[in-house]
């Protein structure tokens, strides 16, 4: 190597220095650069465990997963126990005010001031026959009047965005479900052990 080539190499920003102190600084800088490059290239991931099968509790997993997918994340939802209802071909989800005292009832029609009122649901009223149907009808109408997507539309949006739908095989066996009751887009039928291995490496893991 000529003198000119040697000086050219030494003046390069990524050239390895000769003395020990400068060498340590160089290694630290290069390591930080490589770590930053790897972090920038990493695709974030979201793992959601959906356990509820009511209409109101169906929104969080689908909204979170579709939002993550829209941001370019890898997203998956593990449906277990009553959450499997959200994967049925025919969705027949109800709102359950019973045992949910924090749930406000919204009037889906009438003047604006009336629609903005929070009407607390007494436990006794929630237990009355037919009240669940009334609450479901009111929630459905409120969602529609506010232009919010239905559960079926949100699920389709998740599928279009590439969200992985994973069903809990143990729950299927426990409740004697048949696989033809569910949508064909389910990617895996696995147990908790298998999904937890995936959730362990996710950047964000949520239990709904």
Mean pLDDT of the chain: 82
Q: What is the DSSP string of 59-115?
A: HHHHHHHHHHHHTT-EEEEEE-GGGGGGGBSS-------TT-TTPEE--SSS-HHHH
Residue 48 pairs with which residues in a beta bridge?
77, 206
This model's pTM is above 0.85: no
Domains of the chain: 3-33 (no CATH), 45-207 (3.40.1260.10)
What pLDDT digit, counting tens, does each position of 135-155 carry?
A: 778 788 878 888 889 999 999
Q: What is the DSSP string of 25-37?
A: HHHHHHHHHHHHH
**Could you tell me the pLDDT band of residue 49, with boundaries at 50, 70 and 90?**
very high
Q: What is the DSSP string of 128-165?
A: STTHHHHHHHHHHHHHHHTTPPPHHHHHHHHHHTTPEE
What pLDDT digit, counting tens, does each position of 79-119 carry?
A: 999 999 999 999 989 887 665 655 666 556 666 655 666 66
- Beta-strand relationship, 204-207 and 188-190: unpaired
What pLDDT digit, counting tens, does each position of 168-194 carry?
A: 999 999 999 999 999 999 999 999 999
């Amino acid at each position: 190597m000529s003198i000119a080539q040697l000086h050219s190499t030494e003046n390069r920003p990524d050239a390895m220095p000769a003395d020990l102190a400068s060498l340590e600084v160089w290694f630290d800088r290069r390591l930080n650069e490589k770590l930053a490059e790897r972090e920038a290239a990493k695709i974030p991931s979201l793992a959601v465990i959906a356990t509820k099968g009511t209409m109101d509790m169906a929104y969080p997993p689908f909204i979170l997963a579709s939002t993550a997918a829209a941001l370019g994340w890898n997203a998956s939802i593990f449906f277990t126990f009553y959450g499997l209802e959200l994967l049925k071909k025919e969705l027949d989800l109800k709102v359950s005010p019973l045992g949910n005292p924090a749930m406000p009832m919204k009037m889906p029609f009438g003047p604006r001031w009336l629609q903005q009122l929070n009407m607390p649901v007494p436990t006794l009223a929630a237990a009355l026959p037919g009240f669940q149907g009334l609450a479901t009808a009111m929630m459905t109408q409120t969602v529609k009047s506010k232009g919010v997507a239905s559960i079926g539309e949100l699920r389709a949006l998740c599928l279009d965005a590439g969200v992985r739908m994973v069903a809990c095989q143990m729950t299927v066996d426990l409740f004697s479900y048949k696989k033809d009751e569910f949508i064909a887009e389910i990617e895996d039928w696995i147990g908790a052990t298998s999904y937890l291995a995936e959730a362990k490496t996710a950047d964000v893991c949520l239990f709904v």
